Amino acid sequence: MPATATAISARSVPAFALDPNSVISVRDATVRPLAKTPTRCSSCNLREICLPCGFSGQDTDRLDELVYTRRTVKRGESLYRAGDAFNSLYAVRSGFFKTTQTLEDGRDQVTGFQMAGEILGMDGIGPEQHGCSAVALEDSQVCVIPYARLEQLSHEMPGMQRQFHKMMSREIVREHGVMLLLGSMRAEERLAAFLLNLSQRFTARGYSPSEFNLRMTREEIGSFLGLKLETVSRLFSRFHEESLIKVWQKSISILDIAGLRRLMGQRMH
């Protein structure tokens, strides 16, 4: 069986994020009144794809002790920068972020894109300071999760501890996927994998799997994929010609998911 997008982004290689097991019917979630008490995890419409995922009602309530602040980050602003002291993790409540890692000589690289329900800042725990910067790609809001409180709650609730371990572990798995992508895929495979991954993550959030807007520039995509922006642009054009996708500026329609998946299976030959 050739490598399918599902395989890449979901099973052994969750290329960028989100366990497929947490792919939920968001319709169900959105039926409920939207965030009457919006700072509470227990009533958050993201609870099934965010930190609370997997908790039962009673336990979810306890999460409300954890998250008591929101923070708004305008497009282009940083949530934190490399070198900042580490105090909190952040759950994306709305909007879109990129994380970038910088080398002393100025080179820097996008290490990930984060959307609603995803957690930012886990790389800061070990060094006790952030190693990368998180920048909002559109006006965004995050829930602040003070790490000390998370530790405390993990101590009291074994379920919480395990949930948090799982989240960190999944981040490691996600990065393995990116390493595979950067280390062994050709440019067209990388871009196909990228699009399929975005599609999957939008789907999990109740959006269309095939129509979405890119929040990032060609350069940011290229940086993430280890390619130059011109290469990304050319590939978009080629995918367009081949009727795999429709691109117009930042708006993307995926026309042939199976075709993209097929692309990904091809060995560097």
Contacts with DNA by CB under 7 A lie at 186-188, 214, 217-219, 222, 226-234, 236-237, 247, 249-250, 268-269
Asked if 217 and 229 touch (Cβ cutoff 8 Å), the reply is yes
Residues 6+ apart with CB under 8 A from 105: none
Closest distance of CB 127 from a second copy, Å: 7
Asked if 136 and 74 touch (Cβ cutoff 8 Å), the reply is yes
Extract the runs of DSSP E, i.e. beta strands, from 81-132: 88-102, 108-115, 119-120
- Token digits of residue 78: 């940083």
Q: Is 184 in the site for a second copy (CB under 8 A)?
A: yes
Contacts of residue 132, defined as CB under 8 A and 6 or more positions apart, other chains included, come to 82, 99, 100, 101, 102, 111, 123
Q: Of residues 180, 187, 229, 255, which one binds a second copy by CB under 8 A?
A: 180
Q: Is 223 in the site for a second copy (CB under 8 A)?
A: yes
Pick one of a second copy, DNA, none as the site partner of residue 57 (Cβ within 5 to 8 A by kind): none
Number of residues in contact with a second copy under rule CB under 8 A? 60
The yes or no reply on residue 187 touching a second copy (CB under 8 A) is no
Sequence-separated (6 or more) residues with CB below 8 Å from residue 166: none
In whole angstroms, what is the distance from residue 251 CA to residue 262 CA?
22
Per-residue x/- track, 4-23, a second copy (CB under 8 A): x--xx---xx-----x----
Measured from the CB of residue 172, what is the shortest distance to a second copy in angstroms? Answer: 5
Judged by the rule CB under 8 A, the positions of this chain that interact with a second copy are 1-4, 7-8, 12-13, 19, 82-83, 101-107, 109, 111, 122-127, 131-132, 151, 154-155, 158, 161-162, 164-173, 175-180, 182-184, 223-226, 265, 267-268
